[in-house]
Amino acid sequence: MWSQLRSLGTVFKHLFTRVETVQYPEEMPYLAPRYRGRIVLTRDPDGDERCVACNLCAVACPVDCIALQKTEREDGRWYPEFFRINFSRCIMCGMCEEACPTYAIQLTPDFELCEYDRNNMVYEKEHLLIDGVGKYPDYSFWHVAGKAIDGKDKGEAQKEKPPVDVRSNLP
Amino acid sequence: MAKISVDGVEFDAKEGENLLQAVLSAQLELPYFCWHPSLGSVGACRQCAVIQYADEEDTQGRLIMACMTPVADGMRVSLEAAHARDFRASVIEWLMENHPHDCPVCEEGGECHLQDMTVMSGHTARRYRGNKRTFENQYLGPFLNHEMNRCITCYRCVRYYQDYAGGTDLQAFGSRARMYFGREEAGVLENPFSGNLVEVCPTGVFTDKPFSKTYTRKWDLQSAPSVCAGCAVGCNTIPSERYGRLKRVHNRYNGSVNGYFLCDRGRYGFGYVNDDARIHKVGVRAADGVFDVISAEEGEEKLGDIVRDGAIGIGSPRASLESNLALKVLVGEENFCTGLSSAEDALMRLILDVYECGGARIPTLAQVEEADAVLILGEDVLNTAPRVALAVRQSVRNESLEMAEQAGIPLWQEAGVRSHGRESASPLLVASLLPTELDELATHTCNGAPESLAAAGFAIAHRLNSAYAAGEELDGPTQSFVDDAAAVLSRAKRPLVISGTSLRNDGLIKAAANIAWALKAQGCDAGLLLTAAEANSCGVGMLGGGVDLDTALRAAAAGQALVVLENDVTRRADPDLVASAFSGSTAVAVLDSLENATTESASLVLPAATFAESTGTFVNYEGRAQRFFEVFAATGETAPAWRWLSKAGARAGRNDMHWQHVDQVVEAVASHPRLVGVADAAPNGGHRNAAGNRVPRAPHRYSGRTAMNAGVNIHEPKTQVDEETPLSYSMEGAMGDQPAALTSYVWSPGWNSNQSVFKFQQEVGGAMAGGDPGVRMLDAEPAQVDFAQRYRPLQTPIGAEGDGRFKLLPTHSIFGSEELSGRSQPIAERGPQAFIVLGAAEAARLQVAEGMGVRCPELDATFAVRVEESLAEGLAVVAMGLGGLGDEVPSERVTLEPDPEFVPPTTLIARG
């Protein structure tokens, strides 16, 4: 008897507490920028593809759902010829983002990845690449790396001395 | 054997060996950079520092460089002492100060010795805040990328390139922190072994340029143990695949054959596997002359129809033994031809005859390096069997090694050995048609027509032992060469005679055999190395055919059906004869991987798998049977040629050809009395390791498995099951205790680079664990024959006939002369333009000079002229395989005329 009354009391008490239920999808929940949802490929501050096709995301991926192929542009930049994520396998663990040395691959707060056809869960580069820098507005890998590309010659990257004149022994 | 104590644990080590080598042989971990088993120790990088204690009481010890310290019995060292660890960590931190932030865009990343050593030394965070030193890069040709910023100044590149490979155009420049390793000015690296810099460089300064174009990390490559198809040396390779394309070829260590190094033809000559001209479908020629695509079943049926009533079969020295055997069984011995040209076939028979007499040892490449006097008779080995030339180059060092030994200098003490030995070199005598690249090392050279070289050879044998008949009279310089050669060779303990088939002259081979036998009779350990042209020339020679190529083609011309196996016969026989065979034959079935002049004329074409898509056996120049394994599965209807042939045999009602599995074909090959060893060349398909596992083709971190195919179909395909070999098509299985013939890649925890190969060796730089792969099949006890009377010199006319026409002689180019590698883009880019060599007098008579052009109407070909003073009148030397030429020169004399319209090609190769 006492226990039933206590249960009724508990239920009654909850009528006056704050409601945690969100009226999704009419009402969208707040998700932090670091939320691990749908993966995107971002661009440099200057608008070029950030991904250099180094394959570190693919090797970090515990479910092996990333496949890509490196190729090279005329100006010397490496980029992926294709970049494919199979979201039907992805577990949103964020290891690819952690592995990415160029901040190209980033997880976003978008979690709405539902499809009637599993084939639509396969995202190619054109589906992944966004027109923005994502969470890291200033980083440009090519201005840190030592490899020369058009517009950034040897010695012009951050923290670099001008190229050595091999034909001189002067200090 | 010495006992050394390392961190309190006792190990056995070889007395006098350097400590680093001993420590690595004991499977301990000690970082190093500048030391390399083939290049010795120079103590340049200071990375292998350890603490040595004077005795048991000594707790302080002193810092020594392991690579520069000889092992002594009772030695006490510590790798783990704090001081040694700190020192090594500091060294790596200094080396990394200027290292660029390049790993994501560096082709070495993931198989980088510098990465491995940095992790091993515990250097994780950068403390240096200064600016980094930078360098400009150089264009180095179609094989290598140059990225000098990544250099750690270990000097391995110049030590390999100059000291080991004899290159002159890669140097160290500058001083202090500004050391620069490159050419004096940008340009193609000339040495034909330059590709090894990719594996020698411990970081990413020199990287593989064709591989970089469609780059894949090492952990993503699917690889299998293979054998180079570029020449008859049979270097062991690891070709690797990703996304259905062959990406690169790396060296696979074999202590008896290629050791740590490949030639550039072997490393970069695989591009034809990915070529657009690959045949993928079965085609039958319709009435209008165009090929109709038919199904595989129809193709088998048609091939069965062709062979049902008997056909002539032409095998191939570039096809596996298995495929050749299948054809031989299908058409019968009396209708089977080896596919070697008639001239080469006769020479191959001669070589086998020489070897089967057992009069001299057939050297492995490792034994070539040990020879203390070498005579090369007629063969331009650098261009026909390149890796042999690199081994000969090492043999020249034996004199200085001996001097060092007498002076008590350890042989691994590279700088000491070299400065003590200075100019001294073991004798190398080169008798050749034209001057060769090895001449710079030769103590005596002699040039002449093949007949006069052979005469010189017979004269040397005669000088060594007068029971051997001398040939004709020799001119002065040749006589002095003969005198010198006889004197030098008879003094040597391990003399070596090298010759081969490339000049198509049997006298050279007979003379070489006579010399080796005469030396052997003097009691020394004489070696005789006879090279053939292609990967399986020796194999098809041992398999043998009932008819030679010209006879086979004549039979086809008379109306016999013809089956051609992986062979462009237009390269090997007279064009008119080939044309009449194709037009006269009732049906011409061709099995090949690439479109060529023979498939053009075929009535039925079946797609054959290349070495990368099939499993089979090649037999190298020393009679070593070596198995190559399928790297990736063939696409479409492409299948190993033996499979097409056995299916066609079954359709034609044959009961002896129901081969389902490559092992059954191997067994059939091994039933041939000469080829029994083939069965043991590698474990069969049923082999499993101790735990019952297969050997994986893919490393354990192979990525992208659930996405690679998702673009085509979201449902992941079942992992392909390999029915044929003990390898698996995935990362499943285990590496470590497999026989050396099954090493599909080298990797060990903490050792991602190819330096990890020492984990698979019995001792560092020695044989592979479990013995080097391959089975030698030609070692024979000396036969009861009169060696001195076996081969007698022939009297052959030498010299011009005075009608102004030219006798053509063949020469070869490492890049371009071999059929398949010549179709790989970087090799084609590096190869020379078709050229002809004329004597000075003949060039003057034709009024042409170096760089001008001449036409040969009979061959319908134009050549760039090269003038060679020494070449006799009436002779002209043409490069085989270039400018539309095949593997044979016409036997008739030809006319040559200057070509005023000839435009020399620009020598500049496209940059980038």
Per residue in A105-140, pLDDT (tens digit) is 999 999 999 999 999 999 999 999 999 999 999 999
User: For residues B619 and B321, is the Cβ–Cβ distance under 8 A?
Assistant: yes
Determine the structural domain holding residue B851 and report its residue range: 807-898
Residue B722 lies in a domain: no
Task: Determine the pLDDT at residue B780.
Answer: 86
Pairing of strands A78-86, A122-123: antiparallel
CATH number at residue B482: 3.40.228.10
Distance CA B435, CA B836 (A): 14
Task: Determine the pLDDT at residue B910.
Answer: 46
Please report the sign of the dihedral spanned by the C-alpha atoms of residue B261, residue B263, residue B268, residue B272. negative
- Which member of A52, A78, A161 has the closest CB to residue B132? A161
Q: Which of B108, B221, B703, B719 to mutate to test the interface with A (most CBs of A within 10 A)?
A: B703
CATH number at residue B305: 3.40.50.740
Residue B638 lies in a domain: yes
Q: What is the ipTM of this complex?
A: 0.90
Do residue B395 and residue B436 come from a single domain? yes
Q: How far apart are the first and last CA of chain A?
A: 95
Percent of chain B with pLDDT over 90: 79
The one-letter amino acid code at B196 reads N
Contact B707 A67 (CB under 8 A): yes
Angle B732-B733-B734 (CA atoms, 0-180°, nearest 5)? 130
Do residue B522 and residue B476 come from a single domain? yes
Q: Which residues are CB-contacts of B129 (< 8 A; sequence separation ≥ 6)?
A: none
Q: Which of B105, B147, B203 to mutate to test the interface with A (most CBs of A within 10 A)?
A: B105
Q: How far is A14 from chain B (nearest CA, A)?
A: 47
Task: Determine the pLDDT at residue B701.
Answer: 93
Q: How far is A91 from chain B (nearest CA, A)?
A: 12
Do residue B308 and residue B329 come from a single domain? yes
Distance CA B370, CA B395 (A): 6
* Encoded tokens for B414: 């590279």
Do residue B411 and residue B504 come from a single domain? yes
Contact A166 B214 (CB under 8 A): no
User: For residues B565 and B578, is the Cβ–Cβ distance under 8 A?
Assistant: no
Distance CA B379, CA B376 (A): 6
* Number of independent structural domains in chain B: 5
Helix axes B342-356, B549-557, angle to 10 degrees: 140
Distance CA B804, CA B841 (A): 12
Task: Determine the pLDDT at residue B911.
Answer: 43
Do residue B392 and residue B527 come from a single domain? yes
Identify the segments of chain B with pLDDT beneath 70. 795-802, 905-912
- Which member of A78, A147, A164 has the closest CB to residue B174? A164
Contact A166 B101 (CB under 8 A): no
Do residue B10 and residue B78 come from a single domain? yes
Contact B101 A145 (CB under 8 A): yes
Q: Is A115 on the interface with B (CB under 8 A)?
A: no
Pairing of strands B616-619, B604-607: unpaired
Distance CA B389, CA B432 (A): 14
Residue B167 lies in a domain: yes
Do residue B829 and residue B890 come from a single domain? yes
Distance CA B829, CA B905 (A): 12
Contact B102 A63 (CB under 8 A): no
Task: Determine the pLDDT at residue A10.
Answer: 93
Per residue in B316-339, pLDDT (tens digit) is 999 999 999 999 999 999 999 999
Residue B109 lies in a domain: no
Per residue in A42-69, pLDDT (tens digit) is 999 999 999 999 999 999 999 999 999 9
Do residue B493 and residue B600 come from a single domain? no
- Taking only Cα atoms into account, the Rg of chain B, rounded to an integer number of angstroms, comes to 28
The three-class DSSP label of residue B845 is: helix
Per-residue DSSP letters for B182-222? Answer: E-SSS-----TTGGGHHHHSSSSSEEEHHHHHT---GGG-E
Task: Determine the pLDDT at residue B472.
Answer: 79
Phi and psi at B74, nearest 5°, equal 80, 10
Do residue B520 and residue B416 come from a single domain? yes
The three-class DSSP label of residue B537 is: helix
Do residue B638 and residue B615 come from a single domain? yes
Last residue of a domain, one of B513, B538, B563: B538
Residue B124 lies in a domain: no
Residue B436 lies in a domain: yes
pTM (2 d.p.): 0.94
Task: Determine the pLDDT at residue B797.
Answer: 60
Residue B302 lies in a domain: yes
Smallest CA–CA distance from B108 into chain A, residue: A54
Last residue of a domain, one of B212, B233, B263: B212
Smallest CA–CA distance from A102 into chain B, residue: B104
Contact B710 A122 (CB under 8 A): yes
The one-letter amino acid code at B900 reads P
CA neighbours within 13 Å on the CB side: how many for B42?
20
Do residue B526 and residue B428 come from a single domain? yes
Looking at chain A from residue 49 to 78, which residues have their Cβ under 8 Å from any Cβ of chain B?
52-56, 58-59, 61, 63-72, 78
Task: Determine the pLDDT at residue B133.
Answer: 94
CATH number at residue B34: 3.10.20.740
Contact A146 B132 (CB under 8 A): yes
The three-class DSSP label of residue B862 is: strand
User: For residues B49 and B37, is the Cβ–Cβ distance under 8 A?
Assistant: no
The three-class DSSP label of residue B42 is: coil
Last residue of a domain, one of B492, B514, B538: B538
Task: Determine the pLDDT at residue B851.
Answer: 86
Task: Check residue A17 and report its DSSP letter.
Answer: S
My answer on whether omega of the bond before A33 falls inside 30° of 0, hence cis, is no
Please report the sign of the dihedral spanned by the C-alpha atoms of residue B906, residue B208, residue B768, residue B67. positive
CATH number at residue B891: 2.40.40.20
Contact A147 B214 (CB under 8 A): no
* Encoded tokens for B216: 């894949």
Do residue B419 and residue B556 come from a single domain? no
Alpha-helix residue ranges (DSSP H) falling in B544-595? 549-557, 575-584
Residue B258 lies in a domain: no
CATH number at residue B151: 3.30.70.20
List the one residue out of B351, B865, B422 whose CA is nearest residue B621: B351
